[in-house]
Amino acid sequence: MSDSIMSAMRRPFRDHVATHFHFEASADGRVAIVRLNRPERKNPLTFESYAELRDLFRDLVYASDVRAVVITGAGGNFSSGGDVYEIIEPLTQMAMPDLLAFTRMTGDLVKAMRHCPQPIIAAVDGIAAGAGAILAMASDLRFATPEAKTAFLFTRVGLAGADMGACGMLPRIIGQGRAAELLYTGRVMRAEEGRDWGFYNALYPAAQLEATAVELAHSLADGPWFAHQMTKTMLNQEWAMGIDQLIEAEAQAQAICMTTQDFRRAFEAFAAKRKPTFEGN
E strand or H helix that includes residue 142: strand 141-144
Evaluate whether 111 touches 99 at the Cβ level (below 8 Å).
no
Question: Would you give the distance in Å from CA 194 to the centre of its chain?
Answer: 17
Q: How many helices (H) and strands (E) does the chain have?
A: 12, 9
Alpha carbon separation from 163 to 102, 103, 151 (Å, rounded): 12, 8, 13
| Residue 44, number of CB atoms within 10 A of its CB | 24
Interacting residues of 127 by C-beta distance below 8 A, sequence separation 6+: 42, 77, 78, 79, 80, 149
Relative orientation angle of helices 131-138 and 96-115, to the nearest 10 degrees: 30
Evaluate whether 69 touches 119 at the Cβ level (below 8 Å).
yes
pLDDT of residue 133: 98
- Count Cβ neighbours within 10 Å for each residue of 247-273 and write b for 16 or more, e otherwise: eeebeebeeebeebebbebbeeeeeee
Strand order, beta sheet including 188-190? 127-129, 149-151, 188-190
pLDDT of residue 1: 45
Among candidate residues 160, 154, 193, 153, the one with its CA nearest the CA of residue 175: 193
Evaluate whether 55 touches 19 at the Cβ level (below 8 Å).
no
E strand or H helix that includes residue 129: strand 127-129
The predicted model scores a pTM of 0.94
Evaluate whether 16 touches 2 at the Cβ level (below 8 Å).
no
pLDDT tens, N- to C-terminus, the chain (281 residues): 455 676 778 899 999 999 999 999 999 999 999 999 999 999 999 999 999 999 999 999 999 999 999 999 999 999 999 888 888 889 889 899 999 999 999 999 999 999 999 999 999 999 999 999 999 999 999 999 999 999 999 998 888 999 999 999 999 999 999 999 999 999 999 999 999 999 999 999 999 999 999 999 999 999 999 999 999 999 999 988 998 998 999 998 888 888 888 888 888 888 898 988 888 77
Question: Would you give the distance in Å from CA 104 to the centre of its chain?
Answer: 18
